[in-house]
């Protein structure tokens, strides 16, 4: 198992803090970072730190109650850090969801984050 890079740990901590962690979350990304996510039901691509933060802010409008994210596996594959995770919250149907984050990190910042959901939950 690959250890979890500090950049990824910082991302998860800032993200779970919600809106109060916005500045710390923004500081995790390069100015031209790319974020691909499926959370609105259709995969979307956000280019640039400002667009990424707008996407993250949508989650703050309907915060999840008592959210906890568990890192299940970490691996480095072809220069990407892959983190399999499970999110627990009573706000999620069935109380939990899981997925995979693929990170490319450059000079201590996230330059690319691709999130996919595990449809099996």
Q: What is the per-residue pLDDT across 23-78, written as a single tens digit (0 to 9) for each?
A: 999 999 999 999 999 987 899 999 999 999 999 988 777 766 678 889 999 999 99
pLDDT value at 104 more than 70: yes
Pick from 3-7, 10-14, 65-69: least confident: 65-69
Residue appearing with tokens 């706000």: 91
- What is the pLDDT, as a whole number, of residue 121? 46
CATH code at position 37: 3.10.450.50
Is residue 1 in a domain? Answer: no
User: What is the tally of structural domains in the chain?
Assistant: 1
Q: What is the residue range of 80's domain?
A: 6-117
Identify whether the C-beta of residue 61 lies closer than 8 Å to the C-beta of residue 40.
Answer: no
Is residue 69 in a domain? Answer: yes
Identify whether the C-beta of residue 92 lies closer than 8 Å to the C-beta of residue 77.
Answer: no
- What is the pLDDT, as a whole number, of residue 73? 95
């Amino acid at each position: 198992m690959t250890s979890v890079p500090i950049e990824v740990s910082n991302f998860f901590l800032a993200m779970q803090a919600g809106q109060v962690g916005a500045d710390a979350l923004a500081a995790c990304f390069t100015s031209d970072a790319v974020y691909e996510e499926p959370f609105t039901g259709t995969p979307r691509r956000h280019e640039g730190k400002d667009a990424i933060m707008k996407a993250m802010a949508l989650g703050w409008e309907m915060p999840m109650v008592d959210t906890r994210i568990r890192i299940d596996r970490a691996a480095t594959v072809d220069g990407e850090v892959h983190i399999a995770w499970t999110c627990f919250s009573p706000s999620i149907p069935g109380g939990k969801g899981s997925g995979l984050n693929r990170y490319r990190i450059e000079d201590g910042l996230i330059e690319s984050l691709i999130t996919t959901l595990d449809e099996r939950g």
